[in-house]
Structure 1
Amino acid sequence: EEKQRIEIAAPAVFGFVTLPKVVATIRSKTASSVRSISGNYEQVGEHILSGRADLGISRLPLDPRLFEWAPIGSARNVCIFHPKHRFSKKSCVEAHDLEGEQIVDIDPQFASHQMNFNALRFAGVEPDILVEYDCNGYEVGFVSAGLGVSITNEIIAREYAAFELEAKPVEPSALYHYVAVWQKGRVFSNVLEVSLEAILSAFQPAAESGPTVLPIHATARAADRSS
């Protein structure tokens, strides 16, 4: 059992910071290897239900008839930008601040909300979207090159620490609840228990904060299998 291969499904963006921490923890406590499977939140669920993945990183809502989960953190929206950007002097970025800014934006069909940009449109201003992408992680390259600003959330922004960007809270904002997820009724081996704990611990706020690491409004992390 200690040599079991653990398969973890998660959006590819978590490969920057979180999954390397998870793998390091698993390897330090077991002889197991890890297979990382990428996908959006819907695909993470599909990987778990099909048996391709043992565990996943996703966010609510999820169907309690199909899944069980443990909370790993909640996050609000932030705007990420190059350190020399004018937003670095602001405490919060509001919708009207985006007027005239080049924007790196996720495809609306993959966006949880468009409140900021819809607020601009309501005021008669069409957002200047320079680049549109379809998966979290693509935006950071364009933003670090100084080609625009982008709106994401605190937990995703933590994955971009190595890019030395800045991030400021955004209003209006949505609230996202992230979880470690598995198939309902799954029997946990010792290795799987270690892997779940590794995911939970990887999302604990870092002791030292970088410019993109904003406070995470963490929910309880009790891995009690409750949903």
Structure 2
Amino acid sequence: MDVDLRKVRYFVAVAEELHFGRAAERLHIAQPVLSRQVRALEEELHAQLFVRDRRSTELTAAGRQLLEDSRPLLASADALKRRVTRAARGSASFTIGFMPGLTVTDAVRALTARHPGLTIELVRTTWDDQTEVLHDGRADVSLVRLPVEPRGLSVRPMFEEPRVAVLPDAHRLAGKESVSITDLAAEHLLNDPDAVPEWRDIAVELSSGGRPRAHGYHSIEEKLEHVAAGRGIAIVPLSTSEYYTRPDVTCVPVSDLPPNQVSLAWMASRRSRLIHDFAEIVTA
């Protein structure tokens, strides 16, 4: 049996919304059409995917498994389409993703020297999509900051760099040569706490049931705006702090945080001479 990717996309929309009406609006189709497509998928898979009543829609165990497997399947399909479209243009191209604070200029020049006529494109990534751009085909390789989910990827270490605390310029710790993570225990962290487990484990605001975790900051620029406004602090790699300087914030090394690991990642299933050459260049 061949799985219809359109039905899978419909299923994912319902699974993420847990509401057929909202999913139909998201997909720009009529709700009865969506319901028929999901029922058809259930018949093809011989499995019930949702439990529905008048008040709620919930995933079954089979539905949860399908959702877990569907996302990489759809990302692979999108990646295939993007690569084929690029190949159909008739000129070789190569897309590199990179995180804030990292530069790829020298590596791009070296790759171009090896492959004259190659078109190189760049994609700036964030913590949220630094590996997603590989799975969905937006990038051939990505310079990532660990940790990342390694499933389906080849990950090659490049270098390490220290992490610093970004503080408002009038902060009590501003001007210190360095601080420890315990010095920051009473601060409000603008990172996801899971990204700095050393802080999370001693954080006053989490142990006392105080302010909730900060979410929704998709860029370093957003974090710096909130730091400057006195709404919290951020922990960032040294190169990021040096690249995004501004007069109303200051950076202090955190002496007892492990360094940030920068690595090159690509889809493990890819067998590309360009990927091999780029990996050789950046890890030399």
TM bucket (normalised to shorter chain) is 0.5 to 0.7
Matches within 5 A, 1:52-91: 52-60=138-146, 66-91=152-177
Q: Report what 1:143 is aligned to.
A: 227
1:9 aligns with 2:9: no
Do the aligned residues in 2 keep the contact of 1:58 with 1:181 (CA within 8 Å)? yes
Contact kept, 8 Å, 1:55 with 1:196, in 2: the verdict is no
- Aligned residue number for residue 188 of structure 1: 273
Contact 1:26 1:195 in 2 (8 A): no
Structure with more helix by fraction: 2
- Compute the TM-score of the two structures, normalised by the length of structure 1: 0.60
What is the TM-score of this pair, normalised by structure 2? 0.50
Q: Return closer, same or farther for 1:50/1:130 CA change in 2, 3 Å cut-off.
A: closer
Distance 1:129 1:77 in 2: 24
Tell me the C-alpha RMSD between the 2 structures: 4.2
Give aligned pairs, total.
190
Which ranges in structure 2 are unaligned for 5 or more consecutive residues? 1-86
Does the residue aligned with 1:74 lie in a helix, a strand or coil?
strand
Please give the per-residue CA displacement for 1:120-159, whole angstroms capped at 9, x wherever unaligned: 4399767767965443412122224454432223243343
Higher share in strand: 1
Paired residue secondary structure (2:271): coil
* Pair 1:76–1:136, CA change in 2 (3 A): farther
Amino acid at match of 1:119: I
Alpha-carbon distance between aligned partners in 1 of 2:133 and 2:206, rounded to the nearest angstrom: 42
Q: Tell me the residue number matched to 1:205.
A: none
1:178 is aligned to 262
Unaligned runs of 5+ in 1: 201-220, 223-227
8 Å contact from structure 1 (residues 99, 127) kept in 2: no
**Amino acid in structure 1 at the alignment position of 2:160:** S
CA distance in 1, matches of 2:239, 2:133: 22
1:159 aligns to what?
243
How far 1:34 moved relative to its partner? 0.8
1:187-227, Cα deviation, whole Å (9 max, x unpaired): 223x9736973xx3xxxxxxxxxxxxxxxxxxxx33xxxxx
Contact persistence 2:95–2:121 (CA under 8 A): yes
Shift of 1:20: 7.1
Inter-partner Cα distance in structure 2 for 1:97 and 1:65: 36
Distance 2:264 2:112 in 1: 20
Cα distance in structure 1, aligned partners of 2:178 and 2:212 = 21
Per the TM alignment, residue 36 of structure 1 is displaced from its structure 2 partner at its CA by 1.3
* Identity across matched positions, percent: 17
